[in-house]
Amino acid sequence: MTALATGWAGPARIRAHSRRLGDLIRQPVLVLSWIVVLIVIGWALFPSVFTDHSPFAGDTTASFVPPSAEHWFGTDRLGRDLFARSVYGARTTLTATLLAVLIAFGLGAVVGLSAGFAGGLVDTAIMRVVDVFLAIPSLLLAMVIVSVLGYSTNNIALAVGISSIASFARVMRAQVLTVVNQDYVRAAYGLGVGRLGVMVRHVVPNSLSSVIALAALEVGTGVLAVASLGFLGYGAPPPQPEWGLLVAEGRDYVAVHPWASILPGLALAVVVIATHRISTSLRKENR
């Protein structure tokens, strides 16, 4: 019987993967979102594969050239290729975003786990602090933190991460409160497993699914937050390519040369929409 069951495990797994692949194919928007995300990851990892132009070198005689086969996004006031600057800027923006999400995920999960598992006055005290952070607009809080730490991409990542901790803490606490009341947790206590063992073996693994889905959602939100701070001048200084800075550099010329700001902004919007669509799919699968 064991051999028979083992023999059928392979085909069953293949059928499950086939169904999942079929569901994916029937959602063209989701497929397109994954393609967009993979392309942008390629931009960040291998920018020279996607463009032959330098993001820094310009030609003042080619200032504000409109989009063409040579310059897909046109050029800026210094004659620099905007598509190349968008491609190379992906590394700066995505690195800051991923660092911010990791900070928010790690610290938020610890705070939420501590509140939900400890309960009582500890839970009340922690969540009141979390409520204070949730009451402050995250972008405003990030701006205050960057102003204190100084203007740089790394400080933007830290600021965006700290401003997002409260959201992760709240979701993690809710999951922990659900898990600690399950029968298998009570059974573990009945078998003599200590609180630390219950937390490590049962509570943490079964509480992370919704937090991971939130992390996927926060990637899009983080990209937008990092770009917003870069647009306001809190991020990487010129001539470093960064998506928010690219939009800011072209805003004074929108009436005459709209592509200088609109096309980098459109690329940013497409990436944010794609990541949100993927995160929505992940959250549905975790329900």
Domains and CATH numbers, the chain: 2-51+73-285 (1.10.3720.10)
Angle between helical axes of 82-118 and 259-285 (0-180°, round to 10): 30
Cβ atoms of residues 158 and 107 within 8 Å: no
Output the pLDDT for position 4: 43
User: How high is the pLDDT of residue 20?
Assistant: 63
Would you state the pLDDT for residue 62? 87
Which of 108, 30, 28, 19 is CA-nearest to residue 283? 30
pTM given for the model: 0.84
What is the Cα–Cα distance from 46 to 51, expressed in whole angstroms? 10
Rounded (10°) angle between helices 28-45 and 82-118: 110
What pLDDT is stored for residue 6 in this prediction?
44
Burial of 149 (0-12, 13-18, 19+ CB in 10 A): middle
Per-residue tens of pLDDT for the chain, all 287 residues? 444 444 444 566 676 656 666 666 678 888 899 999 999 999 999 999 999 999 998 888 889 999 999 999 999 999 999 999 999 999 999 999 999 999 999 999 999 999 998 888 999 999 999 999 999 888 889 999 998 888 888 899 999 999 999 999 999 999 999 988 888 888 888 888 888 888 888 888 888 888 888 888 889 899 999 999 999 988 888 888 999 999 999 998 988 999 999 999 999 999 999 998 888 887 766 66
